[in-house]
Amino acid sequence: MEKILILDFGGQYNQLIARRVREQRVYCELHPHSMPLDEIRRFDPIGIFFTGGPHSVYLDDSPKPDPGVFSLGVPILGICYGCQLLAQSLGGLVTAAEDASAREYGKTETAFDPSCALFRDLPEESITWMSHGDYMARVPEGFRLAAHSAACPTAAICDERRRFYGVQFHPEVNHTTFGSEMLHNFLYAVCGAHGDWTMADYRRRSVEELRGRVGGGRVLLALSGGVDSSVLAALLSEAVGRQLTCVFVDHGLLRKNEGDEVEAAFADRELDFRRVDAGARFLGRLRGVTDPEAKRHIIGEEFIRVFEAEARTIGAVDFLAQGTIYPDVIESGFGESAVIKSHHNVGGLPDTVDFKEILEPLRLLFKDEVRQLGRELGLPESLIARQPFPGPGLAIRVIGDVTEEKLSLLREADAIFREEMATAGLDRTASQYFAVLTNLRSVGVMGDGRSYDYAVALRSVQTSDFMTADWSRLPYELLDRVSVRIVNEVKGVNRVLYDITSKPPATVEYE
């Protein structure tokens, strides 16, 4: 299979590069910039990306790859910091922009040389997204200029003999008008890709690999009933059949009626399905805990301990399987990238687990790819299109300490929001929507009397990959109905807010 290697230098858009490459039907993986040269050779990429990053390449402590990467004979595309790194490493000169006019941030009119392979068959002028305070004062020998803006004569450089390219802007973001076409040119015209990344092929290879790894062993799947674990259940069932046991842990942090709905969804399937009521156990561990990272770590560890206990009742279980996906891995801290939040099934895992191995077959898939795989496996659309729900459940939608009273308030408010979204026909168009019980209490007037109750925040976003998201422009009439119903029907809530923050700078969830 053709593979693209993306070396991570800590930029905010690095996961988007991976998304854009996958959208071109080319497989890629994001790895730390410090990936050893021998591992790069074993990975055998047809092309390499250097990502953006917050550093300055001329500083001694700036991140750099093994210099041997330039001698592999593999095409390289450097983006922003990656472009400057390419230039600095090969004999060019990068300096800080002393003149403020040489710094560029945001949408920028840019001119391109169409003879460069990156820009072939594209308009000679269009908009790009710039974000840099350093600039290339001298390009390396063998390179030529391939794009410029009013402030930056070195907006793109190329050495087409060695197939090295650098762009000062970000082609991976939507703000760059022809960014996808530029990436397509690099992948297909420069790297020679054929586009062999499909879910049908991924399914076939995953089944073969799982059968080889599991052999005659038994697998316990942490089944939440969400999209990821449901797709994984179908994949594992195809791979190992009756060697699979699915355990659904009802941790007392589910939405209204959700435990019964999950059990009903899998009732007619040929699976060894077991529901474990562990609500009291989880709430006991969470009592008095307010820090969101602490919540996630507690929940992650407690999940493992419940699965270990259940495995002992089943008999010898060799493997624990969980529906970790690529955004979980990236947000939990990856390479130079910061920890955004520790996902309970990644950063929240305890140091030791009582299983031979943890299986994560979806670990390198984005959410939309997981849905594609589910369709390939024949799962019903009702499961594939189900609203995402975080593993830690309502614990990270109750801000502050988690109590039964707060959970009850949130379940009712969330149920009203979901019901009204469905009535309005918006339940399938919004990527994710939910209610949050804030830790804010405010004065209100109810029944001619003073109230001092909680504020509920509503959140709805549109996204294709959950790495970036935009807030949904819901109709005011809908928000009005939801607000009136929550305040009137949920005792203990006297104020309703609507979150209009995109990701970034926010995340989809609150904690």
pLDDT tens for the chain, 511 residues long, are 899 999 999 887 788 899 899 999 999 998 999 999 999 999 999 999 999 988 899 998 999 999 999 999 999 999 999 999 999 999 999 888 766 555 566 788 999 999 999 999 999 999 998 876 677 889 999 999 999 998 888 899 999 999 999 999 999 988 899 999 999 999 999 999 999 999 998 999 999 999 999 999 999 998 877 889 889 998 999 999 989 999 888 999 999 988 888 888 777 777 788 999 999 999 999 999 999 999 999 998 998 888 888 888 888 888 989 888 887 776 665 555 444 444 444 444 445 556 788 899 999 898 889 999 999 998 888 778 777 788 889 999 999 999 999 999 999 999 999 999 999 999 888 999 999 999 999 999 877 788 899 999 999 999 876 777 899 999 999 999 999 999 999 999 999 999 999 998 898 999 8
pTM of the model: 0.68
Query: Other CB atoms closer than 10 Å to residue 505's CB: what's the count?
Result: 7
Q: Which numeric CATH code is attached to 199-384?
A: 3.40.50.620
Q: Where are the alpha helices (DSSP H) in 287-342?
A: 292-314, 326-331
Residues 6+ apart with CB under 8 A from 127: 107, 108, 109, 110, 175, 176, 177
Domains 3-190 and 199-384 share a fold: yes
Question: Which residues are designated catalytic?
Answer: 80, 170, 172
Whose CA is closest to 46, among 195, 146, 178, 169? 195
> What CATH superfamily classification does 3-190 receive?
Class I glutamine amidotransferase (GATase) domain (3.40.50.880)
Two structure tokens written together for 293: 């990272």
Helix then strand then coil, in percent of the chain rounded to 5, is: 35, 25, 40
Whose CA is closest to 157, among 123, 122, 117? 117
Query: Other CB atoms closer than 10 Å to residue 102's CB: what's the count?
Result: 17
Q: Length of the chain, please? A: 511
**Phi/psi of residue 216, each to 5°?**
-95, 10
Q: Where are the domains of the chain?
A: 3-190, 199-384, 397-498
User: 397-498: what CATH class?
Assistant: alpha beta
Two structure tokens written together for 179: 């960014």
